Amino acid sequence: MVARSVDAVVVGAGPNGLVAANALVDAGWDVVLVEAADEVGGAVRTAEVTAPGYRTDLFSAFYPLAAASPVIRDLELDRHGLVWRRAPAVLAHALDDGRAAVLEEDPDATADALDRVAPGDGDAWLDLVAQWDAVRDDVLAALFTPFPPLRAVARLLWRSGARGTLDLARLAVLPVRRLGQERFRGDGAPLLLTGNAMHSDVPPDAGGSGLLGWLLTMLGQDVGFPVPEGGAGALS
pLDDT tens for the 236 residues of the chain, in order: 455 788 999 999 999 999 999 999 999 999 999 999 999 999 999 999 999 999 999 999 889 999 998 889 889 999 999 999 999 999 999 888 988 999 999 999 999 999 999 999 999 999 999 989 988 888 887 777 766 555 666 666 656 665 666 677 787 789 999 999 999 999 999 999 999 999 888 899 998 899 999 999 999 999 999 999 999 999 99
Query: Do 154 and 208 reside in the same domain of the chain?
Result: yes
pTM summary value? 0.84
For residue 59, the enclosing domain spans 8-66+77-85+227-234
Separation between Cα atoms, residue 212 and residue 193, nearest integer Å: 8
The verdict on residue 1 lying in a domain is no
Query: Do 58 and 172 reside in the same domain of the chain?
Result: no
Query: Do 126 and 44 reside in the same domain of the chain?
Result: no
Q: How far is CA 138 from CA 128, 141, 145, 211, in A?
A: 16, 5, 10, 15
Query: Do 163 and 177 reside in the same domain of the chain?
Result: yes
Query: Do 110 and 42 reside in the same domain of the chain?
Result: no
Residue 147 DSSP code: S
Query: Do 93 and 208 reside in the same domain of the chain?
Result: yes
The verdict on residue 185 lying in a domain is yes
Query: Do 103 and 185 reside in the same domain of the chain?
Result: yes
20's CB contacts (< 8 A; 6+ apart) are 10
Residue 146 DSSP code: P
Q: How far is CA 17 from CA 22, 83, 145, in A?
A: 9, 21, 16
